């Protein structure tokens, strides 16, 4: 169907919205996709047909570029020149017309109809929520109209994906000198990720950590995303798609073992940037990452001790690197429309705060939150907004090292508060969310998708009420209350006003206590003096002299807030434990009244994480008491507290068995970042040593 014919059809059908019958006992209306629509619009139409089949048992035919037949049908096509990603879905003349202001708008119109009219959960694959079954699908009127979204770019960063990488059989091998991500995420799993992304009306994804696009199985992840029409970007350690690991692979294949350093080997680094830029440029809709960082998620000066030591010199080197990257893009893809971004994560935030970075014009400047997702850094507020740039935000639903990772934590009202501040301060071009392995964070992911699509009129409390009512057929008020109790259970640091007992923070603090206990027990003496402060970054622990924090550690100061003291930490762990116990009391009482499928989702999304947090809080509380007892020379009390800690933490593997059932079998096979089994073993080893020490 020619575009002119399509516009004529729309004009002919431009009467008031009226009734539409999709499926009746005698007929299933076909879906007609206009000629010339991109693959991702056709894929959306196929998803619509599949969902109708899930609901009614009958599958509509999908005709791409075909003639509109007489009678009821669905007409899908783009009315070029409309607002960015806008859509209109209306029943007209007995037909359903889905039109977008651009092709992605058309795609999102299809998914808006699927979610809002057919009542299919965009994250249904990850939540397990099935749509309600009906024999017929008819409506007296359908009318969905959308303007442009509040945030131009909205999406997910698949990061710290230790669970996704080994959940299903490997999508291939990776070459990384790193204890994680030796396998590529299964391609079918990535297909489910990006389908959920577009169903949520998001248009941006960073598909994985440390992608090496020269490795075909990793390039396949990018291909899966590109075919869905979304913008594809790169981890903030991957300028022009190059991580330190890609750099090492490139030069090792050529017989060289080089330091990863733009300071010591600028020509070699630029060569790799150029090769990777040319490879990435084959894909449409790339948002190029600019910057300069080191190995894993560390600053570049940790990869090369020759790098200058002053912040000013380091800022100058990063600025020079970004300018070189833009020049490479000018040469590698001169005629392509392009978007540039730089993410001010960790040291980037601190160097930017000091005014030491020169960011290229036309770059989206992305401010990163404090890590648990509850606070913007100082440079977000102090950076003047340059009209030659645009601005956005990077926000964490999840993060390894401090958390959350195994249990959701960020309440929707806090996310809305911070995104509202981003809009007010002209940082609404771009919003990307670290969603880790997705499954644990479906509540927060759904909320942020709705917010970033339309901030105006969004009410977090009303959203939560509706979200609960859509998923649970009974005890809705009780379940909503249980969620609120759950989110309120997390303890907030008195000074820094960020959570300080998230799962990763407690794992880190508890393992530190266990190491100190083991040392004291081995030395047969109590008390060894203050240990150096330690900050975790991407799962690795680094000792930091108290008076020698550089820009990297300063930028991460909220990840592991300053200690409130042992007694206060013990007390607050007990308070947190009680809060999660109360959430469990309400959730379990409500669960008994739910159908099996609804109860299973409540188990996975609320009861399981609350129990994980309750037992981990109890474990940390008892470890603190054990440490205190040993310092006082009371070895029997130390052993008793360690036994209590072991009993609490030993609950986690059994809890995980129910969480890893059915489709999710082997979900924890790759659990390496917050390693439950290793931490349990360490707890038991120290307990045995404590028992031996007092006979």
Predicted local distance difference test score (pLDDT) of residue 372: 84
Q: Which residue has tokens 């609120």?
A: 484
User: Could you give the C-alpha distances from 415 to 2, 502, 555, in angstroms and in order?
Assistant: 44, 17, 20
Distance between CA atoms of residues 300 and 307, nearest Å = 8
Distance CA 435, CA 105 (A): 24
20 sits in which H/E element: strand 20-23
How many CB atoms neighbour CB 511 within 10 A?
Answer: 18
Q: How far apart are CA 671 and CA 673, in angstroms?
A: 6
**What is the C-alpha separation between 216 and 214, in angstroms, rounded?**
6
**Distance between CA atoms of 394 and 558, rounded to whole angstroms?**
15
Give me 126's structure tokens.
């990850």
**CA–CA distance, 124 with 118 (Å, rounded to integer):** 13
- The crossing angle, in degrees rounded to 10, of helices 266-280 and 311-332 is 40
Res 120: pLDDT: 98
Q: Which of these, 256, 281, 282, lies nearest to 269 by C-alpha position? A: 256
> Is the distance from CB of 618 to CB of 417 less than 8 angstroms?
no
Q: Which residues of the chain have pLDDT under 50?
A: 1-15, 526-548
Q: According to the model, what pLDDT value does residue 71 have?
A: 86
The strand pair at 137-139 and 20-23 is best described as antiparallel
Residues contacting residue 676 through CB under 8 Å, at least 6 positions apart: 652, 653, 656, 668
pLDDT at residue 659, as a whole number: 97
DSSP-assigned letters across all residues of 75-108:
EEEE-TT-STT-EEEEEETTEEEEEESSHHHHHH
* C-alpha Rg value of the chain to the nearest Å: 27
Q: Where do we find the tokens 């997702």?
A: 373
Q: What is the distance of C-alpha 313 from the center of its chain?
A: 33
The long-range contacts involving 116-119, CB below 8 angstroms and separated by at least 24 positions, are: 116/144, 117/89, 117/142, 117/144, 118/51, 118/52, 118/55, 119/470
pLDDT at 242: 98
Cα distance between residue 232 and residue 91, in whole Å: 34
């Amino acid at each position: 169907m020619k575009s002119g014919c399509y516009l004529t059809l729309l004009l002919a059908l431009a009467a008031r919205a009226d009734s539409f019958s999709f499926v009746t006992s005698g007929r299933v209306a076909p879906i007609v996709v206009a000629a010339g629509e991109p693959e991702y619009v056709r894929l959306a139409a196929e998803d619509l047909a599949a969902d109708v089949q899930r609901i009614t048992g009958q599958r509509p035919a999908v005709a791409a570029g075909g003639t509109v037949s007489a009678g009821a049908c669905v007409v899908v096509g783009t009315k070029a020149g409309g607002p960015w990603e806008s859509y209109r879905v209306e029943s007209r003349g007995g037909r359903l017309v889905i039109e977008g202001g651009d092709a992605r708008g058309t795609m999102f119109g299809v998914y808006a109809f699927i979610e809002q009219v057919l009542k299919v959960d965009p994250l249904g694959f990850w939540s397990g929520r099935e749509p309600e079954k009906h024999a017929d699908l008819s409506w007296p009127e359908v009318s969905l109209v959308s303007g442009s979204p509040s945030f131009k770019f909205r999406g997910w960063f698949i990061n710290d994906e230790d669970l996704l990488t080994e959940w299903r059989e490997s999508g291939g091998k990776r070459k990384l000198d790193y204890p994680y991500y030796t396998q590529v995420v299964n391609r079918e799993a990535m297909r489910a990720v990006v389908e959920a992304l577009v169903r949520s009306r998001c248009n941006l994804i960073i598909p994985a950590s440390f992608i090496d696009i020269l490795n075909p199985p990793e390039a396949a992840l990018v291909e899966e995303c590109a075919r869905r029409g979304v913008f594809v970007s790169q981890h903030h350690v991957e300028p022009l798609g190059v991580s330190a690991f890609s750099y090492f692979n490139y030069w090792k294949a050529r017989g060289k073992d080089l330091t990863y350093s733009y300071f010591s080997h600028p020509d070699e680094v630029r060569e790799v940037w150029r090769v990777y830029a040319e490879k990435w440029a084959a894909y449409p809709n790339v948002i190029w990452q600019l910057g300069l960082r080191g190995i894993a998620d560390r600053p570049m000066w940790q990869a090369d001790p020759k790098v200058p030591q002053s912040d000013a010199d380091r800022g100058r080197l990063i600025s020079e690197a970004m300018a070189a990257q833009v020049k490479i893009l000018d040469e590698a893809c001169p005629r392509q429309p392009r978007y540039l971004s730089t993410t001010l994560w960790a040291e980037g935030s601190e160097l930017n705060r000091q005014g030491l970075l020169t960011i290229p014009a036309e770059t989206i400047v992305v401010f990163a939150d404090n890590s648990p997702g509850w606070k913007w850094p100082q440079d977000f507020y102090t950076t003047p907004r340059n009209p030659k740039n645009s601005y956005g935000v990077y926000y964490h639903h999840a993060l390894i090292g401090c958390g959350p990772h195994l249990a959701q934590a960020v309440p929707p009202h806090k996310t809305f508060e911070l995104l509202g501040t981003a809009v007010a301060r002209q940082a609404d071009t771009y919003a990307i969310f670290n969603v880790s392995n997705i499954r644990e964070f479906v509540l927060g992911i759904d909320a942020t998708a709705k917010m970033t699509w339309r901030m105006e009129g969004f009410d977090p409390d009303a959203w939560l009420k509706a979200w609960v009512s859509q998923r649970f057929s009974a005890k809705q008020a009780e379940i909503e209350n249980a969620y609120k109790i759950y989110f309120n259970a997390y303890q907030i640091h008195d000074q820094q006003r960020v959570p300080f007992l998230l799962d990763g923070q407690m794992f880190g603090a508890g393992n530190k206590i266990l190491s100190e206990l083991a040392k004291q027990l081995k030395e047969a003496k109590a008390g060894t003096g203050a240990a150096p402060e330690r900050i975790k970054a991407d799962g690795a622990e680094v000792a930091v002299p108290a008076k020698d924090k550089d820009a990297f550690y300063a930028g991460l100061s909220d990840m592991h807030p300053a200690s409130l003291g042992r007694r206060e930490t013990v007390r607050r762990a007990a308070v947190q434990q009680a809060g999660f116990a109360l959430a469990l009391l309400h959730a379990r009482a409500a669960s008994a009244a739910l159908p099996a499928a609804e109860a299973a989702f409540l188990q996975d999304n609320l009861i399981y994480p609350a129990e994980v947090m309750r037992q981990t809080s109890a474990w940390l509380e008892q470890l603190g008491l054990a440490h205190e007892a040993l310092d006082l020379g009371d070895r029997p009390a130390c052993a008793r507290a360690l036994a209590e800690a072991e009993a609490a933490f030993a609950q986690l593997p059994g809890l995980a068995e129910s969480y890893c059932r059915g489709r999710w079998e082997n979900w924890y096979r790759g659990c390496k970042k917050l390693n439950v089994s290793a931490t349990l073993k360490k707890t038991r080893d120290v307990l045995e040593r404590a028992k031996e020490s007092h006979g």
